[in-house]
Structure formats: C-alpha cells, structure tokens
Amino acid sequence: MPLLDVRDLTVEFPTRRGTLRALDRVSFSIESGEILGVVGESGAGKSLTGAAIVGLLERPGRIASGEIRLDGQRIDNLAPEPLRRIRGRRIGTIFQDPLTTLNPLYTIGRQLTETMQTHMRLTDAEARRKAIGWLDRVGIPAAAQRIDAYPHEFSGGQRQRVVIALALCAEPALVIADEPTTALDVSIQAQIITLLKNLTRDHGTAVMLVTHDMGVIAETADRVAVMYAGRIVEIGPVAAVIRQPAHPYTDGLMASIPSLEHRVDRLRQIDGAMPRLDAIPAGCRFHPRCPRVFARCHKEQPELLPAGATNAACWLHANG
C-alpha cells in the first residue's frame, strides 16, 4: 500500500462568474522513502495539489471530489482538529520563503520544541536536547548556542535549514516541499537539496517535491509528475520523463530549457501560453499549442495511458 494515495482529486473555486476547476481528477501515489517531483509552469496546479493534501486550501477553494489517503486512512474529509494533528505529526511542510514560515517573535528553539511537544510526549529538557540535535543535523554550526537565536539572526540559507528541521522534527511520514530552494542562491540551493535528500532517505520519509526547476528534479526525484492546466499530463520514472518524454508538452518543456553542456542557435519554444482557468479549451487542454495535434484532440480529453516507460495523457499513445 502506498503511503500517500491521491485519487481523482478535483479542486474548485466558486466565483461570481461560475465555478473554476483548478485541479481536475488528479491521481498519483507516493511510497515510503520515495521522492516524487511535481513540475509544471505557474498556475498549473502544483502548489494547489500540495495545499489540498495538507488541508490548507485557501477559501473559497474546496475539494469537490476525489479521495486523499495517508497510510490507507482518508484525510480529505477530516474535521479541523484531527486534521491539525495529522499535519505536523504525519505530514511536514516546507515552503518557498523561510521568513514567512518562521515566527519572527519566537526563538527557533521555542518553535522547534513547541512543534515536537505538540505532537510527541517529551519533557522540556528532552525536547530541547532533540531540537539541538536537529539543528546540528541540518548543519547549523554551534547549534547549542544558536538555538536561542531569533530567525532574523540567520542568513537565508540557514533559515531554510531551520525550516527543514522544523518540518522533520516531529518525524513525519510525508514531507511536502513547495519550491524549497527557489528563494536561494545556486551555491546554497545545492546544499539544501542534498540535505533534504539525505535526511529523508535516512528516515524513510516520503517527499512530494514541488518545483519549476527541472534540474533540481533530475538530481533529486525518483519519479516525476508533469502538470499542465490542472491535470497531470505525464508521470513516470525521472530518467524516462526527462530523456524519453511521451507527452508533447513534456517534450517541449525539456527542449526549451537551455543546456550548460552545449549551446544551440535557437531554443525550441512552445508557442502561446497555458490557458487561464476560465478559458480551458475543450478536448485535450494542450491541443491549441501542440505540434502533433489531430482531430481527436479537439473533442476528447485523454486520460493517463501507458506510453513507453511512463504514463501520458495523450491520444498519440492510444493504440486501442
């Protein structure tokens, strides 16, 4: 049984001008110890998927249908209090901007011990000792002294280390990391990604890594899901999705990334832009931009189908 199982998750935003469907029947699962990368352009629904799983959808957004199971137990229909206990204890979260995650008025030691004591039975002394241990593990130098410092006394990279400690300290089974390195400089990014990868491997934690940076995914993830306009258009092992993408969108996305290895005269570009939620085209959502579009794509919406080493939602792979 997978640790996290998401089935046909649909998220809607009722507005005055009608209901917008931001996620449309999204299904995927993550095993313990596995890192699933979720990529896509802004507005594709990556962050929304993460928010729906931890029950932090912003109003008036709501889960219209579908199921989310953690260890077999449904968590999408829980009352606020049981959900709060699961969030933090079983699911840890890391967001893009470490400054907004940390409370500027509390020392990082207090934030760590409070998180642990909310979810685990620990004395003050035990919690403090564990907090120092976590700071040490995420690479904060002189952890025993720095534990009483406030967030503003740390650099950006160190703050993100503290946020990682905060997300992992209650030893969750699942971590949702939403653009954890986007706000950081490249040389610091590498440190944070390595840290996240090693810590989650050591603890057998499942990770959902949301990012727009394919390079980070290539180095970190085991499998990757590509999202476009609120749907997963391709999902599979990371090497296959990058090297032999089956969906024309994934293919275009990979080809549009400039390479460090060699210089080309022109980058391949996908013309146009992703549709807005109030103007989703009929049939396949990618068909107006697709170089391989044919009649069926205008009318019918494709579901995920086996396509080589991955699964792709594309009529090119419907051989039945």
Partner 1 sequence: MAEKAILEAVAVSHLFDVSRPFLQRAFTREPRRMLRAVDDVSFVIAPGTTFALVGESGCGKSTIARLAVGLYAPSGGDILFEGEALSNARAQPALRRRMNMIFQDPYASLNPRWRVSDIVAEPIRAFRLANRPNEVRGRVGALLAQVGLTVRDGEKYPHEFSGGQRQRISIARALSSEPDFLVCDEPTSALDVSVQAQILNLMRDLQKRLGLTYLFISHNLAVVRHMADWLGVMYLGRIVEQGPAEDIFRRPRHPYTRLLLDAIPDLEQVGRARTPVGGELPSPIAPPPGCAFHPRCPLANERCRVEKPAHVMAGDVQVACHAVEEGRDG
Q: By CB under 8 A, name the binding residues for partner 1.
A: 41-42, 155, 157-158, 185-191, 193-194, 212-216, 218-220, 238-239, 242-243, 252-254, 256-261, 263-264, 266-271, 273
Phi first, then psi: give them for residue 309, nearest 5 degrees.
-85, -5
* Least distance (Å) between residue 265 CB and partner 1: 8
Dihedral through CA 301, CA 302, CA 303, CA 309, nearest 10? -160
Nearer to partner 1, 143 or 253 (CB): 253
* Least distance (Å) between residue 49 CB and partner 1: 17
Nearer to partner 1, 65 or 198 (CB): 198
Whole-Å CA distances, 277 to 45, 71, 286: 10, 32, 13
Nearer to partner 1, 82 or 215 (CB): 215
* Least distance (Å) between residue 60 CB and partner 1: 22
Nearer to partner 1, 115 or 310 (CB): 310
* Least distance (Å) between residue 185 CB and partner 1: 4
Residues 63 and 76: their CA atoms lie apart, in Å, by 8
Which residue, chain included where needed, has tokens 């476009």?
228
CA-closest candidate to residue 298, choices 312, 307, 286? 286
Q: What is the DSSP letter of 285?
A: T
Nearer to partner 1, 55 or 230 (CB): 230
Q: Concatenate the DSSP letters of all residues of 182-214 into one string.
A: TTS-HHHHHHHHHHHHHHHHHHT-EEEEE-S-H
Tokens of residue 40, six digits:
């896509």
* Least distance (Å) between residue 266 CB and partner 1: 5
Nearer to partner 1, 85 or 243 (CB): 243
* Least distance (Å) between residue 252 CB and partner 1: 6
